[in-house]
Amino acid sequence: MAQVKICGLSQPGHVAAAVASGARYLGFVFFARSPRAVSPAQARALGADVPPGVARVGLFVDPDDALLQATLQQTPLDLIQLHGGETPARVSAIKALTGLPVMKAVGIAGPEDLAALTDHGLVADMLLVDAKPPRTTTLPGGNGLAFDWRLLVGRRWLRPWMLAGGLTPDNVAQAIRLTGARAVDVSSGVESAPGIKDSDLIRDFIRAAG
């Protein structure tokens, strides 16, 4: 069974549905432009009763030190997800600053994008392999877009990795079979509208990944 991260949670009922269905990672978005953005106080409340073994993930996009420090002062997190243009050096600096493990997202559109996974695998604790966002969007992730999963067949990196990008209850099993992913991340694919999670879709996704 692949481990599942449900990203962009903002309501206690959806956190409860994700945990009850077996999610191993819960994502809280600290990026103001996202329809899924939460405040640190909201994230603290949402993550307060999460059982051991379920990681609270803070998603940031090119955060400065002040944002990271202010967020962590207000809410406990177990893993930092970096979803912007952070360099390997910046990933290292954020690990040192926060004392937390970091998962670095890399956007993939073609084979030329795969080298960044090798570079980030030297410093990040985990890799997140996502679709590269289109130039026209203001969101660097959470767009519900998939990439050609065949690009990952036979690839190995130094760190554990998650597959993301356009996953849904209907396609996640195929994505896992093709890529061999041991962990998957979803946001839009378990929503009824942008930013509105659906407990039934969360359950269906986690079942389908099993």
Ligand X SMILES: O=C(O)c1ccccc1N[C@@H]1O[C@H](COP(=O)(O)O)[C@@H](O)[C@H]1O
Which stretches of the chain bind ligand X, using CB under 6 A?
A: 7-8, 27, 29, 31, 34, 36, 59, 61, 83, 128, 130, 139-145, 164-167, 185-189
Nearer to ligand X among residue 5 and residue 121 (C-beta): 5
Count other Cβ atoms within 10 Å, centred on residue 18: 28
148 catalytic? Reply is: no
**Residue 82 or 123: which CB sits closer to ligand X?**
82
Q: Is the Cβ–Cβ distance between 6 and 209 less than 8 Å?
A: no
Q: Which of 49, 78, 130, 204 is catalytic?
A: 130
Closest CA to 111 of 146, 152, 83: 152
The encoded tokens of residue 169 equal 């209850």
Kindly tell me which of 8 and 121 has the beta carbon lying closer to ligand X: 8
Helix-then-strand count for the chain, H and E: 7, 10
> Is residue 7 flagged as an active site residue?
yes
- Residue 30 or 123 having the CB closest to ligand X: 30
CB of 60 to ligand X, least distance (A): 9
Residue 104 CB, nearest approach to ligand X (Å): 11
What is the closest distance, in whole angstroms, from the C-beta atom of residue 27 to ligand X in the complex?
5
Three-class SS string for 48-88?
CCCCCCCEEEEEECCCCHHHHHHHHHHCCCCEEEECCCCCH
157's CB contacts (< 8 A; 6+ apart) are 117, 118, 121, 127
CB 195 to ligand X: min, Å: 8
Query: What does residue 99 show for φ and ψ, rounded to 5 degrees?
Result: 70, 15
Burial (0-12, 13-18, 19+ Cβ within 10 Å), 136: exposed
Question: Catalytic residue positions?
Answer: 7, 130
